[in-house]
A and B are shown apart, each in its own frame.
Chain A
């Protein structure tokens, strides 16, 4: 990176460190922090949407819909994350390719399943094998987002389902007494009031999601834990210009600081949201706010 970095073996102290920390490898490490944060920021709202849909479906009076919602939460919550990531993602990818194969290559005569192989025509490959590496990475990334959203959506669905039932029945009765129909009661009375009950559960889920990102490497997405492992490992002079011993402790300490910072920021945000949601609610926190304002 810097002009004096051409022969690191002659460098010492700060100049060595400045060269070491700006190698291409370290740039990959820094970029992976961004990957993780972007993943979290996209996954959280998508998972919440899945959760909301799941909870609303589970509450439905239409039996098939309610069964669908309940099955989704029950099954997905029961399957270990790692199994989900190993098999579900591959299945999902194959399902996409199968559909494209059916559309794009109707004349294909060979079987798609050949032993353990999954063979579709080249035009149906996702992404095309000719497309550049970043396309493959983007595709892996979006599969990761989708899988995380489905897994965490199931947990969120259960949290929201509980929260919807925690809203005092009197509130809904009052809404009905005012002549609101079911849809109006749901959207105007139930949904705005349920968040305060859902928040502790959702904040737990967020924390778990923050720590679940190492699963990304199973999908070929290089996350911060992968890079910390790779960079911290013993490096002998034969394979690198920056030989060093086992520095795992240092790199994992950096990760610890990152995760603690993320946690502390999230705590603050959740506190703020909680204060805002408590406003005017029939809960202890809402009551305290009301008294303080008097």
Chain B
């Protein structure tokens, strides 16, 4: 009898959980906070940018409460896998290598070319020193080409390296470099590289349910056009 009561209680509890599964569940979103216009820290000290707005909207559609967490780019995947937060939303391009460790949602921006920024337009990346942020698709690309690569932990340092002459050019997402063009004589090269497969949210491989929920939310934002509006507002990429 006791067992029966217990199991009923357990059933009731699990049923309760199942119903309240989404509603009010807290999801912790990890981001870098140093990659305007994707994500950055605003004057009030809060995370802001395209992904902040996108993430908040996605959470609303998935009926979850979202909490924002800042984490260094270098350790952003290890800290997701070890459970410090539940999702990465940090301008992370979907690549096969990353896909082996974590799972991605469908892309929320289309694949866009990466661009170069240099002090003059006649720089040839193949024979120049190219700066890129460590563990990005751009760094992998430069290394693959066999060019001279210098890596930096933050996006801003890659640009600073070009200004100081440490590197001749920096390779990064075009939308990020757009915010830097013109400052201190930086110009964009005509050459672009088509690398990366769009930007998506990253989840632990064991969190398939949550990933599907966000996947659905992204789809609904694609369908009703709000995603394109957001992309246009923050000028992060081309539209769907």
B43 in complex: contacting residue of A23, A229, A236, CB < 8 Å: A23
* Contact yes or no, A118 B84, CB < 8 A: no
B186 to chain A, nearest CB (A): 10
- State how many angstroms separate the Cβ of B148 from the closest Cβ of chain A: 24
CB distance from A139 to the nearest CB of B (A): 10
CA distance A116 to B80 in the complex (A): 10
Q: Are the C-beta atoms of A241 and B43 separated by less than 8 Å? A: yes
CB distance from A99 to the nearest CB of B (A): 15
Whether the pair A114, B44 counts as a contact (CB closer than 8 A) is no
Q: Which of A117, A129, A238 contacts B37 (CB 8 A)?
A: A238
Please, what's the 1-or-0 string for B64-86, where 1 marks a CB less than 8 Å from any CB in chain A? 00010111100100110111101
| B81 touching A118, Cβ below 8 Å | yes
Contact in complex: A239, B205 (CB < 8 Å): no
Q: How many residues of B contact A (CB 8 A)?
A: 42
**When A and B form their complex, what is the total count of cross-chain residue pairs whose Cβ atoms lie within 8 Å?**
95
Does chain A have a CB within 8 A of B22?
no
B183 contacts across to A, CB distance below 8 A:
234, 236, 245
* Interface presence of A141 (CB below 8 A): no
Which residues of chain B are within 8 angstroms of A93 by Cβ–Cβ distance? 82-84
Write the chain A residue with the least CB distance to B17. A122
Give the residue of B33, B44, B70, B180 whose beta carbon is less than 8 angstroms from that of A23. Answer: B44
A239 x B48 contact (CB < 8 A): yes
Interface residues of A in 200-236 (CB under 8 A from B): 217-218, 220, 222, 229-230, 233-234, 236
Q: A290 contacts the other chain (Cβ, under 8 Å)?
A: no
Which of the residues B36, B41, B75, B84 comes within 8 Å of A86, measured between beta carbons? B75
Contact in complex: B70, A220 (CB < 8 Å): yes
Complex: chain B residue closest to A239, CB-CB: B36
B135 at the interface (CB under 8 A from A): no
Q: Say if the beta carbon of B16 comes within 8 Å of chain A.
A: no
Q: Is the CB of B42 within 8 A of A90?
A: no
How distant is the Cα of A19 from the Cα of B62 in the complex, in angstroms?
38
Least distance between A20 CB and chain B CB atoms (Å): 9
Q: Knowing A119-B206, A133-B69, A230-B34 are in contact, say whether A90-B82 is a contact too (CB < 8 A).
A: yes
Question: 5 additional contacts, CB 8 Å, given A222-B70, A230-B41, A236-B183?
Answer: A25-B44, A117-B81, A129-B27, A136-B28, A136-B69
